[in-house]
Amino acid sequence: MKILVCISHVPDTTSKINFTENNTKFDSNGVQFVINPYDEFALTRAMWFKEKQGASITVVNVGNASTEPTLRKALAIGADDAIRVNTEAIDGFAVAKELAEVVKNGAYNLVLAGKESIDYNGGMVPGMVASLLDYNFVNACIGLEIEGEKATISREIDGGKEVLSCNLPLIIAGQKGLVEEKDLRIPNMRGIMMARKKPLTVVDPINNEAGTASVSFEKPEAKSSCKMIDADNVGELVNLLHTEAKVI
């Protein structure tokens, strides 16, 4: 089985986010980048198939050279090789077209991705890739088993889960539950050293044009603080409601 895992290069959630050029571009200075957590669930599940069923794993990213350390981390976790499509990932449909071309050229019969990236939260690329290739697609996947050419997939729905069965080729968009968080892997020194020697192929994009453009970015408003008032201190509560909240 040939597995392709889509890897997004995203800011660590602890990083401070800023914008430049009149809030039209993301400022990457001082930002630490990581594998998108949902993609890490997908990669960990792919590793299970590799170890139990002898599958091969390729990881792919659409992005510039700055994303290569993230791909190398995926290789250190256990992927066999990596592909980087050398273009900016600025539009979901453009990214989907690039990924579809990689899938087609590599004849992958199972494609795993996270349900969304935690930077833009678009959640549309895996489904677009499946549509472009006419592959089966399951979103919000929390369980996946493969036997021969048949897959059994569990996905989250309102109030419970749904179990589906379909044939390969298949694209899934995974989320928390696809693997247990305790099973996520941290690269060890041996894996890091081996990753340096694993192939990372850079390919030219088939299309450099984006269908959409970001007009501006805006940070969410800072959360207001919460003051705790002792139940016996009614006078202070009344004063705050009058002077600060201005509701009385």
Choose among 218, 202, 6, 183: nearest CA to 85.
202
- Collect all residues with Cβ–Cβ distance below 8 Å to 162 and sequence separation of at least 6: 154, 155
- Taking the C-alpha atoms of residue 177 and residue 138, their distance in angstroms, rounded to an integer, is 14
Cα Dmax for the chain: 73
Show me where the domains of the chain are located: 2-220
For Cα atoms 3, 51, 38, give the angle at the middle one, nearest 5 degrees.
55
pTM: 0.86
Query: How confident is the model at residue 247, as a pLDDT?
Result: 80
Q: What is the CATH number of domain 2-220?
A: 3.40.50.620
- Collect all residues with Cβ–Cβ distance below 8 Å to 79 and sequence separation of at least 6: 5, 43, 46, 57, 58, 59, 198
Chunked mean pLDDT (size 10), the chain, 248 residues:
96 85 80 94 96 95 96 97 93 94 96 92 93 96 94 91 95 94 91 95 88 81 78 85 82
Choose among 68, 69, 12: nearest CA to 37.
12
